[in-house]
Amino acid sequence: MKQVFLVFLGGGFGSVLRYAISKPLNTTLQNFFLGTFLVNIIGCLLIGVILGLSSRSNFLSTNTTLFLATGFCGGFTTYSSFAFEKHSLLKNSDLFNFSMYTIASIAVGVLAIAFGLWLSKLVD
C-alpha cells in the first residue's frame, strides 16, 4: 500500500507541474504545442537520469524510484495530450506540423533518455 501511495503522490506533483508549464506555453506558438513538447522531453531526460541512477546498486531505493519514475514522471509527461494534439493537426489538414511535431517529439525524446542515462553515470 505504501508503494501505491508513493506513485499516487508523485503523480500528483508531476501533473500539477505539467499543468503549470504546459498551460501558458501551449498558447505561444501556433500549431506547435511547445508546453507538451517540453514536458515530455524534460520527462524523458528525468526518467533517463532516475532509471540510470536506480540501476546502480543502492543509489536510489525502490520506493524512491517508484515515486520519481513511475509517479512523478508518469504524471508529468503526457502521451494522451500528445496524441490529441496530433489528432487536431490532422483534423486541420496540417500535415507539415503534424509530421514535425511527431518526429521531433519521438527523436528528441529518445535522445533525452539516452542523455539522461549518460548523465546518471557522472554521479558518484
Tell me whether residue 74 is annotated as binding.
Answer: yes
Do residues 22 and 35 make contact, with C-beta atoms less than 8 angstroms apart?
Answer: yes
Q: Which three cell numbers stand for residue 41?
A: 522531453
Of 4, 82, 8, give the one whose Cα is nearest residue 43.
82
Distances (CA, A) of 59 to 13, 39, 73, 92, 93: 22, 25, 18, 48, 48
The residue behind cell 501505491 is 4
| Amino acid identity at 46 | L
| Amino acid identity at 34 | L
Binding residues for Na(+): 74, 77
Q: Which residues are annotated as a binding site?
A: 74, 77
